[in-house]
């Protein structure tokens, strides 16, 4: 089969790698791709140019389109390609509102009794500023309603921090809301749905904050590992029954069936479960630690979901562990420079795969082109083995201004950082 993967990050590089390496695909194109994708497999078309995407699919005989990022999903690419009779894996524009509108997700959770934090909605800057001036309960969670590339959430610990986030991100017509701050440990559980049923993948844990010790501003993710031990088998069973399937059932009751990947960002505190957010696609960087552990062919799972037969498809994982560490550009998640040459990429290390995120190829040289530049992913018999292998490989790769967190998986490893 021929696949087209839409997107340019580490997630899309990983999806393409998996489809090719497990025998799902005879050919995988990535649109627009990045410097880690062979040049003859990169498609120089913008992800919002739906007409040209459809024309490309027809011209090369694409059998399945896999949509990586949230923006084209929210813009309706699945609806568009479906109308053109091009098979595509992902939710429709209305179903993707579970991610593109956090307030819509809150509506679904409240209506269908899915556990989540108490919230209060504000319409514009003036309303939430008035609330902040009167209230003094911190830490507080502030969320923008719309897509914000993983950076639309703040957890201020005082009024000054809250006002700073609001002044920087909230306009007069911005829909925004606050949530009660929840204590516990976060985990990501992703499920594959065929619109009626859903099957969960192994749990992962992302590291959103930019600096070690989980401090600093939120990012798109600085690293991840899987499986996450905070999600026990008993807890996973509850997540399936109390969260994942009820969402799919609720969306059907709303006449908005959800087909694709449902990502639940969870807060776990002993036996208490709460949903922090939903995403409507594979997570990044969670994909880079989940797919390397998958036993079955990814293409078979995608096909089962699209055809409505996910209940007949086995989904299992190896007993290995995986970790990915993000190498980022100096200044990220703020302003950063591009065009820095990357060295050390050709030094192959056993059990390590480097997924490119923010790179491009210029005159045969890989250079930086984004904030999150590389995902150095490793597997091992134990999480400690995977961690040691990943950080060993990291030390051989460099570019000007590169930085990374040295404590990925610290919770599962008892607070230990890189060796």
Given a cut of 60, whether residue 356 has pLDDT beyond it is: yes
For the segment 278-298, the average pLDDT, to the nearest whole number, is 97
Given a cut of 60, whether residue 417 has pLDDT beyond it is: no
**pLDDT-based confidence at residue 218 (cuts at 50, 70, 90):** confident
State residue 401's pLDDT score: 97
What are the pLDDT digits (tens) for 45-91?
999 999 999 999 999 999 999 999 999 999 999 999 999 999 999 99
Given a cut of 80, whether residue 115 has pLDDT beyond it is: yes
**pLDDT-based confidence at residue 414 (cuts at 50, 70, 90):** confident
Given a cut of 60, whether residue 198 has pLDDT beyond it is: yes
State residue 346's pLDDT score: 85
What are the pLDDT digits (tens) for 220-263?
999 999 999 999 999 999 999 999 999 999 999 999 999 999 99
State residue 404's pLDDT score: 98
CA separation for the pair 88, 139 (Å, rounded): 41
Please tell me which residue, 414 or 305, carries the higher pLDDT value.
Answer: 305
Counting residues of the chain whose pLDDT is more than 70, the rounded percentage is 98
**pLDDT-based confidence at residue 217 (cuts at 50, 70, 90):** confident
What are the pLDDT digits (tens) for 368-387?
999 999 999 999 999 999 99
State residue 63's pLDDT score: 98
What are the pLDDT digits (tens) for 157-181?
999 999 999 998 888 888 999 999 9
Q: Quick count: other Cβ atoms within 10 Å of Cβ 7?
A: 26
Structural domains in the chain, sorted by start:
2-91 (3.40.50.20), 119-179 (3.30.1490.20), 184-312 (3.30.470.20), 321-394 (3.90.600.10)
State residue 149's pLDDT score: 66
């Amino acid at each position: 089969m021929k696949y087209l993967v839409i997107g340019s990050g580490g997630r899309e590089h990983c999806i393409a790698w998996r489809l090719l390496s497990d025998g799902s695909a005879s050919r995988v194109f990535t649109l627009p791709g990045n410097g880690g994708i062979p040049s003859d497999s990169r498609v120089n078309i913008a992800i919002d140019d739906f007409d040209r995407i459809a024309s490309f699919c027809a011209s090369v005989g694409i059998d399945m389109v896999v949509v990586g990022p949230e923006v084209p999903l929210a813009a309706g690419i699945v609806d568009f390609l479906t109308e053109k009779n091009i098979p595509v894996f992902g939710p429709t524009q209305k179903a993707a509102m579970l991610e593109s509108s956090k307030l819509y997700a809150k509506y679904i959770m409240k209506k269908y009794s899915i556990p989540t934090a108490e919230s209060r909605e504000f319409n514009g800057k003036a309303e939430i500023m008035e609330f902040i001036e009167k209230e003094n309960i911190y830490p507080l969670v502030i969320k923008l309603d719309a897509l914000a590339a993983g950076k639309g959430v703040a957890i201020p610990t005082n009024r000054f921090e809250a006002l700073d986030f609001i002044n920087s991100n909230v306009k007069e017509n911005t829909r925004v809301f606050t949530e009660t701050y929840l204590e516990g440990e976060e985990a990501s559980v992703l499920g594959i749905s065929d619109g009626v049923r859903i099957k969960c993948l192994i749990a992962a844990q992302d590291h959103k904050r930019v600096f070690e010790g989980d401090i600093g501003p939120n990012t798109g993710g600085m690293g991840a590992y899987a499986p996450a031990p905070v999600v026990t088998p008993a807890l996973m069973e509850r997540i399936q029954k109390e969260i994942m399937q009820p969402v799919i059932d609720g969306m059907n009751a709303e006449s908005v069936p959800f087909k694709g990947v449902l990502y639940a960002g969870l807060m776990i505190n002993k036996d208490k479960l709460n949903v922090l957010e939903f995403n409507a696609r594979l997570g990044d960087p969670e994909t880079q630690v989940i797919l390397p552990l998958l036993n079955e062919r990814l293409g078979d799972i995608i096909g089962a979901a699209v055809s409505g037969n996910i209940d007949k498809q086995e989904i299992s994982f190896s007993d290995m562990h995986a970790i990915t560490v993000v190498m980022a550009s100096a200044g990220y998640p703020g302003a950063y420079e591009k065009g820095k040459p990357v060295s050390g990429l050709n030094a192959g290390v056993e059990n390590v795969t480097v997924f490119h995120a923010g790179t491009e190829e210029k005159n045969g040289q890989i250079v930086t082109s984004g904030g999150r530049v590389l995902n150095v992913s490793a597997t091992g018999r134990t999480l400690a083995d995977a961690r040691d292998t990943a950080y060993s490989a990291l030390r051989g790769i460099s570019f000007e201004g590169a930085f990374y967190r040295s404590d990925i998986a610290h919770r599962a490893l008892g607070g230990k950082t890189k060796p």
